[in-house]
């Protein structure tokens, strides 16, 4: 198809993988792309991919990507004729859509009135219900008081879900099973909604136990055509945030698929929609015919690639064509051509560290940050990667943690799942912790393989999926490989080519001493979140004996040099294959990665807490927002000492027991690295039992994760 005729350049008002994704379609269509960036993203991949880029502000999203005036100024300066909002940030902001049009530009999205209507959950439900779309039983009317919400909840007579009217993403959502808890849960939901959306209007809906989340992709043009492209199953979620999506759904039969598609089309017509959008339904797993409208996302979804792979369409291209005034008639002319072909599954790769929670009952997904030391993206039949990073990029904590999406397509669901698991195993990200290994394990859960999904499955299975990530779980061969790489780097170049039967004892790091004693060379290593380990190596890297910690001495050898590619290490006759960062700063295999740093035991002993004192460290990279105590202050067990924030999630650092604050190493506003010492507490004679340093961001976020790419959950 020729390129859209209404404009020849498009400003992409977003960042990360969605900006890269849009820019690549623009290039294919022969349209000029304009990227925008904050200071933190000056050298980001989306900036490097674009034809033109414009700085729009400092690091904070509120001073850059959320500034409508600066985005419009960038469009004017570069001559852009249209604006594509991506998703997150301003994609569902009616004021932005309206401002773009008022500036004489084309908004690649729906009319502002449709965005406004569907952004209000209460009005949206009333509108689609009037069009004959089934809606979840719940409260009606806007601006209900606490008492009215309580009355509505009691009238439903079952567990209820309290939801903000003005936003999504699980922010402010409260499941209430005990009617006596309604007043406090409503008050908490109002606080969260006010903080996240600036609007504390709430609604109450019936809670569906073990529900499935299924959405329908729609397209609508300005010529009266509205069509749907089938459904996506999005039930694999962590705290209301999607992490794995697929198309088509393994639940629906043909009749239900048709009924849901027709309902989605009616919903789109009811608000005068134009462009690409998604109508979301909540579906009882035991009765899919009872599907109910939940909300409509008036933008492109993170998970749109699975629909593209089963239909063969480029949804970004069709967004652009519709915005340019073209008709959907080429698609509506042959409905059979849009029938799903095969099956597709997507996994979201996020910068986060899965860890068992302190109480052992759950899992904390702590934000991660750092420099990407090595990156390997999977390839192969049916595998697609939508990524926003490259080797050498710095991943910070200022924005949403979504880094990339790995998508696999196959002739059927089983083959698509196999291809995705294999692709995740080949995915390498060293320097920034990711959830890749967790996702790979999740895909192997029997309920997932069999398609028996619901929105609570991930949270139920998560503890078992990270059980082997406990502090003692770094494989011995990881330390062995890291030590041998360091040992090889110390050997002179000539030695590496020396005959195997001759060794110059004075030129290799063997620990050789006069008298023939070979003590070995110690390599002090540390994987963040784990205790330091010393690996002692005797001999050459290609013919060594080594001891990991207090373990036995065993034969080991480095079989391959590494330049960021595959690395093979033999330990006790077993060959292990890794990918390694060129500087030896990390190893990866099967979707797992271990950053390995050199550890200085002397410096650690000299700069740490006094004997017996508790040194509390940062559980994640971020910024200290609040310091609640000072040196000399007495504290009790569990008392909050300070708060670290990263990627819009707060983590409260609490006293492990009663004692006195010996030192505070940081102040409000200090940027901290993972494991950096924050505060030291001298305990009383018998320290109390440890208290969990609880991550509260997933339940009480300080800001909306809709404000960044990948942050949209529904």
Q: 509-521, pLDDT tens digit by residue?
A: 655 555 555 578 9
What average pLDDT does the segment 369-394 reach? 95
Answer yes or no: is pLDDT of 605 > 70: no
pLDDT on residue 694: 46
- Tell how many helices (H) and how many strands (E) occur in the chain: 19, 39
The helix/strand/coil state of 235 is: strand
Domains along the sequence of the chain with CATH: 9-108 (3.40.50.20), 137-207 (3.30.1490.20), 211-338 (3.30.470.20), 342-470 (3.30.470.20), 476-495+513-599 (3.30.700.30), 609-683 (2.40.50.100)
Answer yes or no: is pLDDT of 543 > 50: yes
pLDDT digits (tens, 9 = 90+) for 654-703: 888 899 999 999 999 888 887 788 999 998 865 444 444 444 433 333 33
Answer yes or no: is pLDDT of 288 > 90: no
Q: How far is the C-alpha of 123 from the C-alpha of 585, rounded, in Å?
A: 53
Secondary structure element (H or E) that encloses residue 130, with its range = helix 121-130
Answer yes or no: is pLDDT of 385 > 90: yes
pLDDT on residue 559: 92
pLDDT on residue 514: 55
Distances from the Cα of 455 to the Cαs of 169, 242, 282, 472, 532, in angstroms? 13, 9, 10, 31, 39
Q: How far is the C-alpha of 291 from the C-alpha of 214, rounded, in Å?
A: 9
Residues paired with residue 597 on neighbouring β-strands, in sequence order:
526
- Provide the pLDDT confidence category of residue 563 given band limits of 50, 70 and 90: low
Answer yes or no: is pLDDT of 506 > 70: no
Work out the angle at residue 182's Cα, subtended by the Cα atoms of residues 178 and 187, and round it to the nearest 5 degrees: 145
What average pLDDT does the segment 157-169 reach? 82
Please provide the DSSP assignment of 39-54 as one string: GGGTT-HHHHHSSEEE
- Provide the pLDDT confidence category of residue 712 given band limits of 50, 70 and 90: very low
What average pLDDT does the segment 396-421 reach? 95
Query: Which of 44, 37, 45 is CA-nearest to residue 12?
Result: 37
Instruction: List phi, psi (to 5°) of 431.
Output: 115, -20
Q: How far is the C-alpha of 289 from the C-alpha of 404, rounded, in Å?
A: 34
What average pLDDT does the segment 401-409 reach? 97
pLDDT on residue 38: 96
What average pLDDT does the segment 482-494 reach? 85
pLDDT on residue 322: 97
pLDDT on residue 686: 52
Please provide the DSSP assignment of 165-185 as one string: SS--TTTT-EEE--GGGHHHH
Q: What's the order of all strands across the beta sheet hosting 202-206?
A: 174-176, 160-164, 202-206
pLDDT on residue 702: 33
Answer yes or no: is pLDDT of 501 > 60: no
Answer yes or no: is pLDDT of 144 > 70: yes
Q: DSSP label at 468? A: G
Question: Are 188 and 200 in contact, with CB atoms under 8 Å apart?
Answer: no
Query: Which of 694, 712, 700 is CA-nearest to residue 649?
Result: 700
pLDDT on residue 471: 45
Mean pLDDT of the chain, nearest integer = 87
Which burial class, exposed, middle or buried, applies to 140 when counting CB atoms under 10 A from its CB (0-12, 13-18, 19+)?
A: middle
Cis peptide before 248 (omega within 30 of 0): yes
Q: How far is the C-alpha of 674 from the C-alpha of 66, rounded, in Å?
A: 28
């Amino acid at each position: 198809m020729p390129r859209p005729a209404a404009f020849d350049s498009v400003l992409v008002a977003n960042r990360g993988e969605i900006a890269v994704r849009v820019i690549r379609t623009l290039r294919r269509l022969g349209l000029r792309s304009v990227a925008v960036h904050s200071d933190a993203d000056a050298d980001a991949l989306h900036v490097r991919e674009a034809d033109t880029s414009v700085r729009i502000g400092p690091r904070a999203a509120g001073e850059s990507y959320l500034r409508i005036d600066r985005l419009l100024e960038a469009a004017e300066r570069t001559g852009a004729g249209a604006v594509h909002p991506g998703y997150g940030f301003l994609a569902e902001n009616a004021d932005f859509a309206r401002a773009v049009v008022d500036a004489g530009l084309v908004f690649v999205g729906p009319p502002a009135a449709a965005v406004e209507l569907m952004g209000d959950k209460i009005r949206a439900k009333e509108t689609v219900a009037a069009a004959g779309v089934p809606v979840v039983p719940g409260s009606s009317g806007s601006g209900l008081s606490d008492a009215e919400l309580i009355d509505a909840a009691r009238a439903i007579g079952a567990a209820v879900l309290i939801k903000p009217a003005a936003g999504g993403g699980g922010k402010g959502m409260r499941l209430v099973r005990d009617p006596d808890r309604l007043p406090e849960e409503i008050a908490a939901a109002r606080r969260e909604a006010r903080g996240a959306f600036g609007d504390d209007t709430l609604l109450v809906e019936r809670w569906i136990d073990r529900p499935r989340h299924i959405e329908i992709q729609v397209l609508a043009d300005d010529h009266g055509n509205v069509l749907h492209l089938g459904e996506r199953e999005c039930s694999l979620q962590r705290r209301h945030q999607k992490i794995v999506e697929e198309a088509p759904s393994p639940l629906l039969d043909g009749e239900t698929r048709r009924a849901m598609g027709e309902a989605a089309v009616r919903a789109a017509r009811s608000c005068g929609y134009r462009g690409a959008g998604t109508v979301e339904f909540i579906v009882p797993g035991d009765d899919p015919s009872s599907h109910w409208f939940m909300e409509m996302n008036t933008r492109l979804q993170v998970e749109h690639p699975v629909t593209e792979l089963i239909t063969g369409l480029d949804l970004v291209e069709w967004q652009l064509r519709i915005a340019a005034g073209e008709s959907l008639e080429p698609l509506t002319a042959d409905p059979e051509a849009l029938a799903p072909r095969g099956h597709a599954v997507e996994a979201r790769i996020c910068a986060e560290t899965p860890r068992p929670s302190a109480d052992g009952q759950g899992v904390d997904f702590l934000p991660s940050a750092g420099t990407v030391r090595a990156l390997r993206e999977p390839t192969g039949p049916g595998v697609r990667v939508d990524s926003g990073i490259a080797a050498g990029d710095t991943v910070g904590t200022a924005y949403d943690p979504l880094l990339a999406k790995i998508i696999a397509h196959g002739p059927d669901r089983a083959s698509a799942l196999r291809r995705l698991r294999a692709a995740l195993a080949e995915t390498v990200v060293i320097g920034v912790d990711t959830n890749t290994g967790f996702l790979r394990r999740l895909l192997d859960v029997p309920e997932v393989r069999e398609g028996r999904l619901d929105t609570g499955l991930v949270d139920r299975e998560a503890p078992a999926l990270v059980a082997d990530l406990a502090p003692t779980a770094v494989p011995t061969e990881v330390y062995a490989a890291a030590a041998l790489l360091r040992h090889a780097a110390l050997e002179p170049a000539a030695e590496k080519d020396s005959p195997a039967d001759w060794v110059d004892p004075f030129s290799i790091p063997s620990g050789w001493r006069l008298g023939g004693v070979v003590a070995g060379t110690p390599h002090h290593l540390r994987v963040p979140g784990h205790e330091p380990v010393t690996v002692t190596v005797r001999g050459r890297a290609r013919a060594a004996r080594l001891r990991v910690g207090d373990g036995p001495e065993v034969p080991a050898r480095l079989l391959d040099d590494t330049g960021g590619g595959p690395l093979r290490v033999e330990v006790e006759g077993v060959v292990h294959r890794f990918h390694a960062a060129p500087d030896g700063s990390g190893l990866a295999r099967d979707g797992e990665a271990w950053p390995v740093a050199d550890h200085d035991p002397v410096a650690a002993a000299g700069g740490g807490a006094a004997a017996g004192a508790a040194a509390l460290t940062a559980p994640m990279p971020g910024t200290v927002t609040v310091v609640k105590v000072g040196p000399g202050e007495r504290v009790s067990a569990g008392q909050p000492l300070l708060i670290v924030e990263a990627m819009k999630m707060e983590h409260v650092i609490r006293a492990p027991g009663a004692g006195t604050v010996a030192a505070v190493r940081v102040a409000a506003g200090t940027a901290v690295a993972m494991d950096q010492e924050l505060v030291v507490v001298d305990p009383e004679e018998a320290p109390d039992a440890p208290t969990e340093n609880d991550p509260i961001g997933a339940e009480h976020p300080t800001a909306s994760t809709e404000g960044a790419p990948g942050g949209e959950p529904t």
